Amino acid sequence: MDENCYEERKPLIFAVDDDEINLLLISRILGEFTEVRTAQSGTEALNYLAENSVDLVLMDYNMPGRDGLETLKYMKHSRAEMKNVPVIILTGDTDLDLETEVFRSGAVDFIRKPFVPMAMQERVRRVLQNEYLKRNLRREVDRQTKLAREQAAATARLFDETVLALAETVDAKDPYTKGHSLRVAEYSKHIAALAGRTSRQQYDVYCMGLLHDVGKIGIPDEIINKPARLNDEEYGIIKSHTTIGASILKKIVDFPQLTLGAHSHHERYDGKGYPQGLKGTDIPTEARIIAVADAYDAMTSCRSYRGIMEQSRVRYEIERGIGKQFDPVFAAIMLQLIDEDKDFQMRGQLTENEA
């Protein structure tokens, strides 16, 4: 292996053998492309490894006191810095059972004595090269994982910003509905949270709430902004914003459920809504949440034909719609929010946040 494959420093080899001659041979054989440190017992080796990092250990099998395999087994059950150091066992024993035990104990290779310089160099180079590649593969995996997370976060931010910009574009068609989509999204998310929905479900209904009126992009301004009551033909056109919205949003193939809020937020619990006349729990859950949030914001916002309703009137209308216009569970949560909002500040706080 070309030594240029390593980092700029030479790999550090730690040779452990009770024979000084063997240690001298190892230093001469490997010293050309590595730095060699030595120890003469297993205990000395473990003390050194506890304080120092090395790239490879060459460990004699047959040493007095703690032998090579005992030392190796201790390393493999120690802390990560020592556990992950590759070990080559040095042995003059030709017993095949020993070879099996060496590998089972966690060694990466073994080298026979007496040493054959070229063979030792190639075995050591191969192990060092494999460790280098493994180490850099981990680094590359970590780098790519970090990059993927950053890209995913950037994509999510872009999606959120695009959805919000689209919602603001819709609201801009009517001066009386500024911030309507954002408030409906926030109310919907709050209702979903109190209903025990997961964080992901809360996020989904929030996005659906932001885009529930996106179909109004396709409705003429003179109908949306008409100060007087709509005639039947105009009302039919305004109702089409549900199907237009669903048609627009279905093109976002990675978020297919995004269409649910736009398409079904005007369905009624009693089946008298539009566009399909769905009833009860046949109406998507998200649409039932958005329906009550949408109604609350409509009543607590100025319109061209009226001002903001009083809190008591808003509460009465929602309570009256339970089981008719609204899902009883989500309407009850909306009533809870109203009751907790004694100073009628819920909408005002959101309006301040928009500024």
Active site residues: 216
Determine how β-strand 12-16 pairs with β-strand 35-39: parallel
Cα–Cα distance, 289 to 112 (Å, whole number): 75
Cα–Cα distance, 225 to 287 (Å, whole number): 25
Q: Which residues contact 212 (CB under 8 A, 6 or more apart)?
A: 181, 184, 245, 261, 262, 265, 290, 294
Cα–Cα distance, 226 to 248 (Å, whole number): 24
Q: What's the Rg (C-alpha) of the chain?
A: 36
Residues linked to residue 39 through DSSP beta bridges, in sequence order: 16
Note whether 217 and 173 are within 8 A (CB). yes
Q: In 189-225, which positions are buried (b, 16+ CB within 10 angstroms) versus exposed (e)?
A: bbbbeebebeeebbebbbbbbbbbbbbbeebeeebbe
Residues linked to residue 14 through DSSP beta bridges, in sequence order: 37, 57
Of 258, 266, 326, the C-alpha closest to 292 is 326
Q: Which residues contact 281 (CB under 8 A, 6 or more apart)?
A: none
Cα–Cα distance, 68 to 115 (Å, whole number): 17
